[in-house]
């Protein structure tokens, strides 16, 4: 499959197929608005066949020794390194972010493949001789089964790679449902996995929106579901899949606060705030969306934020002069404009107005900064997922922490590590590292009694 193809295919077993559904989305380049592909949604029968292909491939793949499964990951890593620039170009084409941001995203995905290559070590179990007189005990790790990944538009390579390498190297079969807004990268990953020697059926790709998701959540042959997306959908995914007896990890949204103390080095702090708030046009779960000035720093902080935000160059992501690309769709921009209008009407002071900024073609909204935001405003409460920064003031660190902790989200803050608390995460195992090993495997205890 290439970006010149008319229709985006599904992968069922070893075959790339064009879905037969009458529901078809046009996939635009967010930087120009021009259509780059058409996405026919997968039918329920096609999703059933993809899951059946995964189920049929599972026994042989799960019986494949871990060192051999790791060899597929080594080959995948080599292919991704070789095609890094092509992958980055594809991310920029369908997502709109700058090439530098896309390259960083692909690199982060490769790092997870690196970790998956260590399967012979990380999948080791444990044993204890003589846990009782004449009795030994050992614990081994085994695949969960067929697992589904439901991934967002904002990181169309990185987030799937949080899931796919670890699920596969642990011996599971996988069905990916990429975002219907950015399906091309998921298809490309499927091509690379097949090229790396992954047996047919172990990895499958289906497309669609709510109906496709609900099909995966309820299907009896899906054993586990991994999801990244907005907080409301994460809760729905968790509750629905868990009600059908599935293991679930659902990573939700955020409202990340950045505390700036009055003795902070603003020469270093302000560029970091700008990068956090407006990188990827604010469309990432780790975007800093609230700058909380503590003590006397507020006015100077706002002045510098405005100067640097207004200096950002908007344009298509593939333009090397571009500092910030577009948002994903025009309807997303419309939703953000409604938030901006509402906040201005509620008394927040609009100090940088991004409305009307950027090229006429494409889905552009410039950096937007509000000062004097208060906790009763939706612009503070809701995850906006766009280039809108709220500035708040606090007299001291205690007041600042009180404001921060009043948020229903808990994904990241400048004084907490990224991980996901409160409504930003549902489940008990996160997406990468050893948590991914625990999520994609089940432990079996074998007790041996010696006479």
Catalytic amino acids? 285
374, two tokens = 């208060």
Give Dmax over CA atoms of the chain in angstroms: 82
Looking at the DSSP bridge assignments, the partners of residue 256 are 288
33, two tokens = 């608005």
Sign (positive or negative) of CA dihedral 180, 333, 356, 325: negative
Looking at the DSSP bridge assignments, the partners of residue 391 are 291
Helix, strand, coil % over all residues of the chain, rounded to 5: 40, 25, 35
User: Is the separation of the CB atoms in 326 and 281 below 8 Å?
Assistant: yes
Looking at the DSSP bridge assignments, the partners of residue 388 are 368
Buried b (16+ CB within 10 A) or exposed e, 129-147: eeeeeeeeeeeebebbbbb
Whole-angstrom distance, CA of residue 440 vs CA of residue 166? 7
User: Is the separation of the CB atoms in 23 and 41 below 8 Å?
Assistant: yes
Residue 187's nearest CA partner among 171, 204, 172 is 204
Distant-in-sequence, close-in-space partners of 398: CB < 8 Å, separation ≥ 6: none
Looking at the DSSP bridge assignments, the partners of residue 37 are 27
Helix/strand/coil (H, E, C) string of 413-444? ECCECCCCEECCEECCCCCCCHHHHHHCEEEE
**Exposed (0-12), middle (13-18) or buried (19+): which is 266, by Cβ within 10 Å?**
middle
Q: Which residue has the tokens 């100090």?
A: 351
Q: What are the C-alpha distances in Å from 216 to residues 74, 146, 240, 368?
A: 29, 11, 10, 38
In three-state secondary structure terms, 147 is: strand
In three-state secondary structure terms, 312 is: coil
Sign (positive or negative) of CA dihedral 229, 235, 238, 243: negative
- Stretch (H or E) spanning 127: strand 126-132
Distant-in-sequence, close-in-space partners of 61: CB < 8 Å, separation ≥ 6: 69, 168, 171, 172, 173, 199, 202
User: Is the separation of the CB atoms in 282 and 385 below 8 Å?
Assistant: yes
């Amino acid at each position: 499959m290439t970006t010149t193809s008319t229709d985006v295919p599904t992968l069922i077993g070893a075959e790339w197929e064009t879905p037969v559904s009458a529901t078809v989305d046009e996939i635009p380049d967010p930087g120009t608005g021009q259509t780059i592909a058409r996405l026919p949604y997968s039918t329920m029968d096609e999703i059933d066949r993809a899951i059946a292909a995964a189920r049929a491939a599972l026994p042989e793949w799960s019986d494949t020794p871990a060192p051999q499964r790791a060899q597929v990951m080594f080959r995948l890593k080599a292919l991704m390194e070789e095609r890094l620039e092509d992958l980055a170009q594809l991310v920029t084409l369908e997502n709109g972010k700058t090439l530098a941001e896309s390259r960083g995203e692909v690199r982060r995905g490769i790092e997870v493949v690196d970790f998956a290559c260590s399967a012979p070590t990380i999948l080791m179990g444990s044993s204890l001789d003589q846990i009782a007189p004449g009795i030994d005990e050992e614990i081994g790790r085994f695949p969960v089964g067929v697992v589904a990944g439901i991934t967002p538009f904002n990181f169309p390579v990185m987030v799937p790679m949080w899931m796919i390498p670890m699920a596969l190297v642990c011996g599971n079969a996988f069905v990916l449902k990429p975002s219907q807004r950015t399906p091309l990268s998921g298809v490309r990953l499927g091509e690379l996995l097949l090229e790396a020697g992954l047996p047919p059926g172990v990895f499958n790709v289906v497309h669609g929106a709510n109906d496709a998701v609900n099909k995966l959540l309820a299907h009896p042959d899906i054993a586990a579901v991994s999801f990244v997306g907005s907080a409301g959908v994460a809760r729905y995914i968790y509750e629905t899949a868990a009600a059908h007896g599935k293991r679930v990890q659902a990573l939700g949204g955020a409202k990340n606060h950045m505390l700036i103390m009055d003795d902070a080095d603003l020469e270093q702090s302000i560029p970091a705030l700008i990068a956090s708030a407006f990188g990827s046009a604010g469309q990432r779960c780790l975007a800093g969306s609230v700058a909380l000035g503590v003590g006397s720093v507020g006015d100077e902080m706002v002045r510098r934020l405005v100067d640097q935000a207004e200096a950002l160059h908007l344009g298509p992501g593939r333009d090397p002069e571009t500092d910030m690309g577009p948002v994903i769709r025009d309807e997303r921009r419309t939703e953000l404009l409604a938030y901006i209008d509402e906040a201005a009407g509620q008394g927040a002071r609009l100090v940088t107005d991004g409305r009307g900024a950027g090229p006429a073609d494409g889905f552009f909204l410039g950096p937007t900064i509000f000062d004097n935001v208060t906790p009763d405003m939706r612009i503070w409460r809701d995850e906006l997922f766009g280039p809108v920064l709220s500035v708040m003031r606090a007299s001291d660190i205690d007041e600042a922490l009180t404001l921060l902790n009043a948020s229903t989200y808990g994904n990241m803050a400048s004084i907490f590590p990224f991980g996901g608390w409160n409504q930003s995460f549902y489940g008990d195992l996160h997406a990468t590292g050893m948590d991914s090993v625990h999520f994609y495997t089940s432990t079996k205890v074998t007790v041996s009694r010696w006479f």
